[in-house]
Amino acid sequence: MTAASESHPPLRIRKAAVLGAGVMGAQIAAHLTNAGVETVLFDLPAKEGPKSGIALKAIANLAKLSPAPLADKNFAAAIIPANYDEHLDHLKDVDLVIEAIAERMDWKLDLYKKIAPHVSATAVLASNTSGLSINGLAEALPEQLRHRFTGVHFFNPPRYMHLVEVIPTRLTDPAIVDGLEAFLTTTLGKGVVIAKDTPNFIGNRIGVFSMLAAMHHTEQFKLGFDTVDALTGPALGRPKSATYRTADVVGLDTMAHVIKTMADTLPDDPWLKYFKAPAVLQGLIDKGALGSKTGAGFYKKAGKDIVVIDVAKQDYVPSEQKPSDEVAAILAIKDPSEKFGKLRASSDPQAQFLWASFRDLFHYSAFHLADIADTARDVDFAIRWGYGWKLGPFETWQAAGWQQVAEWIDEDIKAGKAMSDAPLPAWVTDGRKGVHSKEGSWSAGDSTYKPRSQHPVYARQLFPDPILGEKFDQGVTVWENDGVRLWTLGDDEVGILSFKTKMNTVNDQVLDGVQHAIKLAEEKLKAVVIWQTGEPFSAGADLKGALGLLKEGKFDDFDAMVANFQRTSMTIKESLVPVVSAVRGMAFGGGCEFQMHSARTVAALESYIGLVEAGVGLLPAGGGLHELAVRAAKANPDDPFESLKKVFETIAMAKVSASAFEAKQLGLLRDSDIIIFNAYELLYVAKKVALSLAESGYRPPMPARAIPVAGDTGTATFQASLANLKEGYFASPHDIDIATRIADTLCGGKIERGSLVDEEWLLTLERKHFVELAKTEKTQARIAHTMTTGKPLRN
């Protein structure tokens, strides 16, 4: 945060405009709309049909894209289509204008001249350029707009990629930068990196070079493209798309354009000779094979198989994708320094490829650090957040032993093995242990270590994304067992309850731990937040333990375990202090049921919530069906069946929400539950909500003792719809049995429509059906199959 911004009011964005309805522009508009920002989407006037036809078509196309840009498909109706001929007056009441047209400086400058007279005197104007000079673009603007202009570079797809680079010009008002940083961080949920105005900024400058280095060494060591992808994907903590699949997804023509931009704008770069599309890439482009968008690139689909281009054969061949045994063993080594030492020493071409690719990436990143970024932290976050790597280049280097790796790089440079003979900067070999320390991260430009930004928005991130070696206060433990830890951040008001199991699954220790922790909280604390230190919130019940009881025929123990699960959910619901669930990532099965029974849920946008038990031959029995029946009766006491229709389909089909908004549509989140966009702010907001409930005199809901149910009439109606699925072979007899039991539980059992029952009646019915299903061979086969393969079994 700058001194100039300390007294500056926050940037309030009520309405935004996006200029350019291409792939990126439309998706940026979609994400603004996700966040509740009224958005106008502009494009050129259409030559035929409605004048705003281009924007209209782009909005309609959002529903077809995967992954979905919209968190709720109904949000598309909120985007306002516009064209430059008729609607420039819309800009007068817009607070943020984001230009996202093609990467042509002349086109952008012409557009700025057209819109400048219409832009509000207080609006911020930003370009989503991926690499053009922001200062160069600013020169086309009238004087009064220049201090409100900046670069704001989203990564594709903008809903899902955490990174946004903000690139101020020499004249950008620092208060504008601070305001945008807060808006992008909290409202849109992004990780902001402030980048210098150099070609391709930080993410693409380093990320594209990494791909170019990999492509160069692919040819040098004569490796197949699928082999390289097997080496440079998850094996290195990177996405499955690795190198060449990523190029296909980006588009080979787009990749070539980015490379050309580097060549055109970086004439003095010591690696300049490599800034050209490799021959194989250019050859594919010349044939019209541009990657995923044309159905063929380095890879293409042949029936059910994926085939890869073989340069020697000039044809596609089956993809083998397998590291050598030696390299697979090296990559499995836990100690990074040992791993890198063995890669460098090995004569295996695959190992040589990996060492060379890392060496040249490290060399390039260190050489250019002072020019492109304020600190090494910015480079590492840009690559992690923009390219999906688990560790950035400097983190990887430091973990492997900074000085040893630096010596190896220097040796290779002097031996002519590196891609450039440019010397390493002097600071690299000054005896340091790395670029990240407790003092902060290294700034090569200022020759000092710099701490994290002190911008007030980051006070909301109690546990921000850590850089290598960073340690955060782990709080004070109030109580723990093998399953959970109840702790505070020293305020002794809000207890934080975190699970200790793999994938935060729910086992006996978790069940007992949650109950005991809440009892303690009622004695010592004002509220409890269920929050996990990482994703997921919970993958649900521990299937291994459950299957063990079933295989041993310990059905009484199994029934007791289910009863304990229900008791835990009810303990959450009936707690005298508010229990708030802070959800991000998966909340499946029992994890979903815990948040359903909480006083309130605060969910990150990217929360994937579902009662998925039907997929393993069961039904929700941690109180989930009981709670849905109670809610249906409250929503529509005269006819609860109406409220159960959608819920039944959700549970019987084991639907999982694709966002927190969709979870509300599915009935798995309540209207009163809160959705936030930045998962790193989740604990901060959840604690505030929990305290607010406590300070408001929170009381748990009264026990429901007269719940109207749909009864056997409701169950029969659901069964009629299931008959069609069975006759059409869309569902197996076992699927029908599961769905019928779900219907019977939701409808209150075999009693008359309108009968009144209590919560214990519903819980008993839920547990009875669950245990009976669990005893069947087909359900046990489904559980075993899912545990072994991670996939559902249809039997």
Q: Does residue 39 carry a pLDDT above 60?
A: yes
Query: Which residues neighbour 90 within 8 Å (Cβ) at sequence distance 6 or greater?
Result: 17, 40, 80, 82
Three-class SS state of 785: helix
Gyration radius of the chain over CA positions: 29
Write down the CATH number for the domain with range 3-194.
3.40.50.720
- The distance in angstroms from the start CA to the end CA of the chain is 59
* Alpha-carbon span 95 to 91, nearest angstrom: 8
- Which CATH architecture best describes the domain 473-609+666-682? Alpha-Beta Complex (3.90)
DSSP structural state of residue 45: P
Chain-centroid distance, C-alpha 494:
27
Q: Does residue 4 carry a pLDDT above 50?
A: no
| Share above pLDDT 70 across residues of the chain, in percent, rounded to a whole number | 98
Q: Does residue 413 carry a pLDDT above 90?
A: yes
pLDDT tens-digit series, residues 692-708: 999 999 999 999 999 99
Mean per-residue pLDDT for 629-644? 95
Could you give the angle at the alpha carbon of 782 between the alpha carbons of 779 and 787, nearest 5°? 130
Handedness of CA 194, 198, 199, 203 (dihedral sign): negative
**Strands across the sheet with 96-99, in order?**
80-83, 38-43, 15-19, 96-99, 124-127, 149-154, 163-168, 191-194
CB 581 within 8 A of CB 595: yes
What per-residue confidence (pLDDT) applies to 2? 45
What per-residue confidence (pLDDT) applies to 10? 79
CB 41 within 8 A of CB 81: yes
Residue with the two structure tokens 């009936």: 574
What per-residue confidence (pLDDT) applies to 551? 87
CB 2 within 8 A of CB 19: no
Q: Does residue 24 carry a pLDDT above 60?
A: yes
Write b or e for each residue in 737-760: b if 16 or more Cβ atoms lie within 10 A of its Cβ, otherwise e: bbbbbbbbbbbbbebebebebebe
Q: Does residue 31 carry a pLDDT above 50?
A: yes
* Alpha-carbon span 480 to 355, nearest angstrom: 44
Residue with the two structure tokens 């919530």: 609
Write b or e for each residue in 214-245: b if 16 or more Cβ atoms lie within 10 A of its Cβ, otherwise e: bbbbbeebebbbbbbbbbbbebbebbebbbbb
Give the C-alpha distances (Å, rounded to integers) separating 358 from 239, 395, 432: 16, 12, 20
* Alpha-carbon span 209 to 359, nearest angstrom: 12
**How buried is residue 559: exposed, middle or buried, by Cβ count under 10 Å (0-12/13-18/19+)?**
middle
Give the C-alpha distances (Å, rounded to integers) separating 189 from 31, 610, 615, 632, 734: 10, 23, 32, 33, 42
Q: CATH 3.40.50.720: which residues of the chain?
A: 3-194
CA count, 13 A, side-chain hemisphere, 622: 28
**Alpha helices, DSSP H only, in 116-235?**
134-138, 143-146, 174-182, 203-220, 225-231
Give the C-alpha distances (Å, rounded to integers) separating 621 from 632, 670, 771, 795: 17, 19, 9, 21
Give the C-alpha distances (Å, rounded to integers) separating 663 from 587, 589, 649, 656: 11, 14, 13, 8
Q: How confident is the model at residue 728 (pLDDT cuts 50, 70, 90)?
A: low
Three-class SS state of 40: strand
What are the residues facing 308 on neighbouring strands? 299, 317
CB 288 within 8 A of CB 300: no
pLDDT tens-digit series, residues 566-592: 999 999 999 999 999 999 999 999 999
Q: CATH 1.10.1040.50: which residues of the chain?
A: 203-433
pLDDT tens-digit series, residues 66-106: 999 999 999 999 999 999 999 999 999 999 999 999 999 99
- Calculate the dihedral angle through the C-alpha atoms of 748, 749, 754, 760, rounding to the nearest 10 degrees: -40
CB 323 within 8 A of CB 227: yes
Q: 566 — phi, psi (to 5°)?
A: -65, -40
What are the residues facing 537 on neighbouring strands? none
* Alpha-carbon span 247 to 131, nearest angstrom: 18
What per-residue confidence (pLDDT) applies to 1? 45
Q: Which fold has domain 203-433?
A: N-(1-d-carboxylethyl)-l-norvaline Dehydrogenase; domain 2 (1.10.1040)
Q: Supply the mean pLDDT for the chain.
A: 95
Q: Which helix (H) or strand (E) covers residue 675, if one does?
A: strand 674-676
Give the C-alpha distances (Å, rounded to integers) separating 289 from 208, 214, 254, 618: 20, 20, 12, 47
What per-residue confidence (pLDDT) applies to 201? 96
CA count, 13 A, side-chain hemisphere, 610: 19
pLDDT tens-digit series, residues 175-217: 999 999 999 999 999 999 999 999 999 999 999 999 999 999 9
Q: How confident is the model at residue 9 (pLDDT cuts 50, 70, 90)?
A: low
What per-residue confidence (pLDDT) applies to 245? 96
Q: Which helix (H) or strand (E) covers residue 338, if one does?
A: helix 336-345
Residue with the two structure tokens 């209590």: 758
* Alpha-carbon span 471 to 641, nearest angstrom: 52
What are the residues facing 780 on neighbouring strands? none
What per-residue confidence (pLDDT) applies to 304? 87
Residue with the two structure tokens 């090296």: 330
What per-residue confidence (pLDDT) applies to 440? 96
Residue with the two structure tokens 């787009």: 254
Tokens of 501: 């199991």
**How buried is residue 160: exposed, middle or buried, by Cβ count under 10 Å (0-12/13-18/19+)?**
middle
Q: How confident is the model at residue 785 (pLDDT cuts 50, 70, 90)?
A: very high
CB 711 within 8 A of CB 624: no
What per-residue confidence (pLDDT) applies to 308? 96
Q: CATH 3.90.226.10: which residues of the chain?
A: 473-609+666-682
* Alpha-carbon span 85 to 778, nearest angstrom: 64
* Alpha-carbon span 393 to 398, nearest angstrom: 9
Pick from 653, 649, 654, 643: nearest CA to 610: 654
Residue with the two structure tokens 């280097």: 397
Three-class SS state of 103: coil
What per-residue confidence (pLDDT) applies to 703? 94
Q: Which helix (H) or strand (E) covers residue 442, if one does?
A: strand 440-443
pLDDT tens-digit series, residues 289-331: 999 989 999 999 998 899 999 988 889 999 987 899 999 999 9
Q: Is the peptide bond before 67 cis (omega within 30 degrees of 0)?
A: yes
* Alpha-carbon span 94 to 71, nearest angstrom: 23
Handedness of CA 183, 189, 190, 194 (dihedral sign): positive
Q: Does residue 7 carry a pLDDT above 60?
A: no
Q: Which helix (H) or strand (E) covers residue 527, if one does?
A: strand 527-530
What per-residue confidence (pLDDT) applies to 32? 99
Q: 144 — phi, psi (to 5°)?
A: -70, -10
Tokens of 712: 């056997």
Query: Which residues neighbour 427 within 8 Å (Cβ) at sequence distance 6 or greater?
Result: 442, 444, 447
Helix (DSSP H) and strand (DSSP E) numbers for the chain? 29, 23
